[in-house]
Amino acid sequence: MTDIAIYEGEDHASQRGDVAQRAACVGCRTAGYIPILSGAVGVSDKVASEFSRLRDRMVDVQLAGRGIADPQVLAAMRTVPREMFVDPALEEFAYQDGALPIDAGQTISQPYIVARMIEAATLGLDSRVLEVGTGSGYAAAVLSRIAAKVYTIERHAALAEVARQRLAQLGYGNIDVRSGDGTHGWPEESPFDAIFVAAAGPTVPIALKQQLAIGGSLVLPIGDSYGNQTLCKIARLGDTKFERTDLDAVSFVPLVSEQGQA
């Protein structure tokens, strides 16, 4: 039986309260907060070791323990330091099984959902990938450990700039970040072997279907803005032939285009 994957997290009520209280104290740091690897700022080996232990536990319990089996996905999730993609005030919650708030009313995705979406696409080492909804850059970083090249688009220019600098500083050199309307895709770099959309709309944007390579997969939530959403895999079988597979019940932020909610 497939687990119901609720994007907003499954942590205990007391933990959610701690996160909410801490998040309320987090000011808008988009313009100034650029994370640096722990070793570069003198963080103790003990702290780094603890984050590593929590990351391993996340992979073993939240991912492998819930059915994520692709060794490439598990290895990538075990490698990328999620604590570097959240606000410092929320670092202690980085490896809980839930989404966390970032600036501009957006979130960093629940680890299980990141892994579930990537595994569904069946990436290869030569894959070229498009992500719509960069956010903090965490999912793009994970994708970059598997795919050859990642193109990621963020609607909020300030978030895009922070993600661009963060990813560069952390050494993810095969990721290009652009600010813009993700529903238009990135036509000059298409076709893509996989496309991931980290926001929900009622339909699949036509431009994204057109930019998907034959044999490729588009993974995205489809549904309304009230949480009635389904994570779907759209496989392109031919020029005009697509096949939809429903994966999980989810809850994502709305997909917004230049014309409003998509």
Task: Tell me phi and psi for residue 100, to 5 degrees.
Answer: -130, 150
Q: How far apart are CA 237 and CA 179, in angstroms?
A: 30
Q: Which residues contact 75 (CB under 8 A, 6 or more apart)?
A: 145
Contacts 24+ apart (CB under 8 A), 236-241: 236/209, 236/212, 238/214, 239/214
Using alpha carbons, select from 195, 187, 204 the residue that is nearest to residue 262.
204
SS3 call for 64: helix
Q: Say which amino acid occupies 206.
A: I
**Can the peptide bond before residue 191 be classed as cis, meaning omega within 30 degrees of 0?**
yes
**What's the Rg (C-alpha) of the chain?**
17
Catalytic residues: 109
